[in-house]
């Protein structure tokens, strides 16, 4: 609901403040090719492992008495995962994108989204992130696959452009796996560098807002 979205946005804004990093090198801008021009909102995280490690480095300077305990938890999470789910096969500083095809309505509990995680090994990530019982339900769905999660929800996923792409909407993922124009050539190198250079950032595609 509205409160959940407000809390989520506030959390991202808070996290973005101490973790800003230098602008992304020009070579990193190639990852923008993975974002369709049709996406209305893009949330970017500069690598799950990379952000976690930089956050720990920040805490070691700001709160050294607390950092040791937190670092142990984070290290265990990055190496061993949580709840049986592991983060194997991820690029440490590879971008994570959450794409929204339309602006989420405040009263929408489950807005449609597309999750993109930069992976060095798709199979390793798939085998690590899903639980053993869940993996038994994996079925081929054309160029994608479907899986029934422990929660009873269905997720559709595929490998595309070096990313683990997933969505709760098979239609949305299907469009992503098809042909489309990217935002890479439309937002400019400066704006692209700002989007990818920060640990957490947002992009609102004003040209696509309805």
For 44-96, how does the pLDDT look when each residue is reduced to its tens digit (9 = 90+)? 988 776 666 666 665 666 656 654 555 555 556 556 667 888 888 988 778 99
**186: confidence class by pLDDT, cuts 50, 70, 90:** confident
Q: What is the largest CA-CA distance in the chain?
A: 52
pLDDT at 4: 41
Q: Which of 84, 108, 85, 210 is nearest to 168 (CA)?
A: 108
Q: Tell me the torsion sign for CA atoms 124, 128, 129, 135.
A: positive
Long-range contacts of 73-81 (CB under 8 A, 24+ apart): 77/52, 78/48, 78/49, 78/52, 78/53, 81/128
pLDDT at 176: 95
Candidate from 34-38, 67-71, 161-165 with smallest mean pLDDT: 67-71
The mean pLDDT of the chain is 79
């Amino acid at each position: 609901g509205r409160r959940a979205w407000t809390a989520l946005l506030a959390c991202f804004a808070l996290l973005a403040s101490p973790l800003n990093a230098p602008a992304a090198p020009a070579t990193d801008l190639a990852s923008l090719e993975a974002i369709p021009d049709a996406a209305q909102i893009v949330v970017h995280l500069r690598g799950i492992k990379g952000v976690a490690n930089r956050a720990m480095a920040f805490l070691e300077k700001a709160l050294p008495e607390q950092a040791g305990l937190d670092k142990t938890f984070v290290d265990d999470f990055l190496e061993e995962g949580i709840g049986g789910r592991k983060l194997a096969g991820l690029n440490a500083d590879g971008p994570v994108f959450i794409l929204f095809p339309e602006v989420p309505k405040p009263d929408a509990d489950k807005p449609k989204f597309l999750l993109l995680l930069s992976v060095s090994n798709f199979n390793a990530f798939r085998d690590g992130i899903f639980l053993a019982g869940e993996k038994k339900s994996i079925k081929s769905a054309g160029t994608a696959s479907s899986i029934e999660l422990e929660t009873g929800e269905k997720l559709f996923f595929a490998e595309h452009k070096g990313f683990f792409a997933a969505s709760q909407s098979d239609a949305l993922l299907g469009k992503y796996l098809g042909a489309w124009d990217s935002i890479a050539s439309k937002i400019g190198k400066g704006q692209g560098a700002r989007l990818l250079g920060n640990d957490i950032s947002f992009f609102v595609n004003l040209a696509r807002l309805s």
